[in-house]
């Protein structure tokens, strides 16, 4: 049945960089092309799309808004609850929406909190410590160099460069100081570094969630990445290839799919998500993070991966939408 679908999103142009801002400050927001693509994908399913945009637009439009459901890809602004902003507004008003609820959004955005849940569920994840200031750089004895220093509640490889992998106390202090200074004292996570392969698993659906074919990262043709990481600079680099199917054996592929679904269920993800892994030289997988709001850009995995099982981008978007409609009994 055709539906009226509201569409909430943030575009990069809402957040122009100011002088002195790091280049990756607005990294997570979408390009207008992605908005057009998702819109026409939903329309290809026979639905009508009402463009809403960000949370402020939603609040303005709410009194006259007549929609069956909202397709939400808003990244939100500010705290670790930013991806929860739209879901919580919609939940308050009883408006159905596509994707995870506020709790899952916030939990997953905070890498330290998400890893506590993974650990409790015995889902392998690298050991870590969270720090909020330089003086917290104590009690790291359970971690062994090399380590990686990341922003605790960011995505899109924000803040990550080659010197994020540190081999001694001096490098660790230097990188931590840099991140606190550049990103206005944003909290940091220091994590055990896993050399090896990097693979991500997209998931669609709820009952049960379906792990799609994994996508493997290759940098300059290399898949055994050792100390190479997916830095912010690499996001648009011609040296990076996304391989789908991944160059791994069937057993590892199915192990990653099972772990991804366990991580998805552990944080109560809904409708779609993506789980990022590193795999060490003995083929031990480690979950780095779960993204309940992964990029739907055309050059990202939600376009690549479905093709391997025989469907296209439009179908993938409609599968996500249908999963939500089914949950609400609106199908
Ligand atoms: N513990 C780790 N071991 C090895 N590489 C890592 C580790 N943590 C992060 N990375 C590298 O940094 C990239 C971004 O880290 P991730 O935790 O996925 O954050 P983001 O939310 O920015 O995607 C990963 O894709 C990977 O290349
Ligand atoms: Mg990631």
List the CATH number of the domain containing 308. 3.30.470.20
Q: Out of 155, 176, 192, pick the residue that ends a domain.
A: 192
C-beta atoms surrounding 170 within 10 Å: 9
User: Is 47 a domain residue?
Assistant: yes
Domain of 278 in residue numbering reads as: 197-327
58-62, 142-146, 147-151, 235-239: which has the minimum mean pLDDT? 235-239
Single pTM value for the model: 0.96
Handedness of CA 102, 298, 10, 40 (dihedral sign): negative
pLDDT value for 107 = 98
Is pLDDT at 233 greater than 90 in this prediction?
no
Q: E strands of the chain, at which residues?
A: 4-8, 48-53, 69-72, 97-98, 128-131, 147-151, 165-166, 188-192, 197-204, 210-211, 215-219, 240-243, 272-279, 285-291
Residue nearest to atom 2 of ligand 1 (CA): 193
Residues with CB under 6 A from ligand 1: 126, 148, 150, 154-158, 160, 191-194, 198, 229-230, 276, 278, 288-289
Q: Please give the structure tokens belonging to residue 140.
A: 């790291």
- Flag the least confident range among 22-31, 81-90, 228-237, 259-268: 22-31
| CATH number of the domain enclosing 162 | 3.30.1490.20
For residue range 250-271, list pLDDT tens digits in order.
999 999 999 999 999 999 999 9
Rounded to the nearest angstrom, the distance between the alpha carbon of 33 and the centre of ligand 1 is 26
Q: From atom 22 of ligand 1, which residue's Cα is the shortest distance away?
A: 157
Mean pLDDT of 14-21: 78
In a domain, 113, yes or no: no
Average pLDDT over residues 186-193: 97
pLDDT at 90 over 80: yes
Nearest to 324 by CA among 55, 53, 56, 45: 45
pLDDT in tens, 114-167: 999 999 999 999 999 999 999 999 988 899 999 999 999 998 889 999 999 999
In which residue are the tokens 């057009």 written? Answer: 36
Query: What are the pLDDT digits (tens) for 294-324?
Result: 999 998 999 999 999 999 999 999 999 999 9
Q: Determine the pLDDT at residue 26.
A: 75
Instruction: Check whether 16 has a pLDDT greater than 80.
Output: no
Bigger pLDDT: 227 or 30?
227
245 and 269 part of one domain: yes
- Domain boundary pick from 177, 192, 207: 192
Nearest ligand to the CA of 159 is 1
């Amino acid at each position: 049945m055709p539906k009226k679908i509201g569409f909430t999103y943030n575009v990069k142009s809402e957040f122009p960089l100011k002088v002195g801002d790091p280049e990756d400050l607005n990294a997570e927001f979408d390009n207008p092309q992605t908005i057009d693509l998702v819109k026409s994908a939903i329309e290809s399913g026979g639905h009508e799309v009402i463009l809403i945009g960000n949370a402020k637009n939603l609040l303005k439009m709410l009194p006259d808004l007549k929609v069956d459901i909202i397709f939400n890809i808003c990244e939100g602004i500010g705290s670790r609850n930013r991806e929860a902003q739209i879901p919580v507004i919609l939940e308050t008003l009883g408006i159905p929406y596509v994707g995870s609820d506020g709790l899952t959004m916030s939990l997953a955005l905070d890498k330290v909190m998400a890893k506590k849940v993974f650990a409790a569920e015995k889902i392998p994840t690298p050991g870590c410590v969270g720090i909020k200031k330089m003086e917290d750089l104590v009690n790291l004895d359970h971690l062994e160099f090399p380590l990686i220093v990341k922003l605790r509640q960011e995505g899109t490889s924000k803040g990550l460069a080659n010197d994020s992998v540190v081999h001694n106390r001096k490098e660790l202090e230097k990188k931590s100081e840099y991140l606190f200074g550049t990103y206005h004292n944003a909290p940091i996570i220091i994590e055990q570094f896993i050399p090896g392969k990097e693979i991500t698993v997209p998931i669609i659906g709820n009952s049960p969630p379906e792990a799609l074919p994994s996508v493997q990262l290759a940098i300059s043709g290399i898949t055994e990445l050792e100390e190479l990481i997916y830095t912010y600079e690499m996001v648009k680099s011609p040296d990076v290839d996304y391989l789908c199917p991944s160059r791994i054996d069937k057993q590892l592929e199915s192990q990653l799919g099972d772990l991804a679904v366990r991580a998805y269920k552990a944080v109560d993800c809904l409708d779609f998500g993506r789980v990022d892994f590193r795999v060490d030289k003995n083929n031990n997988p480690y979950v780095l993070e779960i993204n309940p709001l992964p990029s739907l850009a055309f050059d990202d995995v939600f376009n690549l991966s479905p093709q391997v099982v025989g469907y296209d981008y439009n179908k993938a978007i409609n599968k996500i939408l249908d999963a939500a409609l089914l949950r609400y009994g609106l199908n």
